Structure 1
Amino acid sequence: MPKKLKQVPKFANESQERSFWESHDTADYFDLSKAVRVRFPNLMPSTTAISLRLPVSLLEQIKIAANKRDVPYQSLIKMWRAEKVG
């Protein structure tokens, strides 16, 4: 016999919905066997600014490498970091 699913309540705002899902199991509300993978190709990942101290000579080398690739040095640092971290 299939499991009877609960009705998802209406939420007044995102905060209320977030609180609800933090304390409830989605399996009680959705048939997860029918779930499909979706892609959001235009969704930009969240970012945060950081402060990073580098020796002046290293920063100059990074700027030279970025200039050769015609990209901003901050973007080059992010690309290198992504390659190393995965």
Structure 2
Amino acid sequence: MDADELERRFDAGEDMSEFFDWSKATRPNLEAKRVNVDFPTWMVNGMDKEARRLGVTRQALIKMWIAEKLG
């Protein structure tokens, strides 16, 4: 199967797990490093409101936003 066929099947929602050797799969660069950041109260309140709207935690929201900006 070529890359185009793999992409077509993936986009069609097919289960692609049979095409990968999961015993060798890795997740690079997932080491966590704690960082402390102080935010003004109005920002925390705004983040909490948006996190509730999206159904995620404040920490998850911050991670999503930073990943979007850096990605």
- Measured against the shorter chain, the TM-score band is 0.5 to 0.7
Q: How does 1:2-17 map to 2 (within 5 A)?
A: none
In the alignment, does 2:50 pair up with 1:83?
A: no
The 3-state SS of whatever aligns with 2:63 is: helix
Mark the structure with the bigger radius of gyration: 1
CA-CA distance at 1:75 after TM superposition: 0.5
In the alignment, does 2:32 pair up with 1:40?
A: no
Give the % identical residues.
Answer: 27
Question: What amino acid does structure 1 have at the position aligned with 2:51?
Answer: A
Instruction: Give the TM-score normalised by structure 2.
Output: 0.60
Q: 1:19-71 deviations in whole A, cap 9, x for unaligned?
A: xxxxxxxxxxxxxxxxxxx7425x67100111101110001100000001110
Q: Hey, which bits of structure 1, 4+ residues long, moved more than 3 A?
A: none
Question: What amino acid does structure 1 have at the position aligned with 2:61?
Answer: L
Number of equivalent positions: 48
Greater length-normalized contact order (CA 8 Å, ≥ 6 residues apart): 1
Instruction: Give the TM-score normalised by structure 1.
Output: 0.50
Instruction: Give the structure 2 partner of residue 22 of structure 1.
Output: none
Q: How does 1:5-84 map to 2 (within 5 A)?
A: 39-41=25-27, 45-84=30-69
Question: What amino acid does structure 2 have at the position aligned with 1:55?
Answer: P
More helix by share: 2
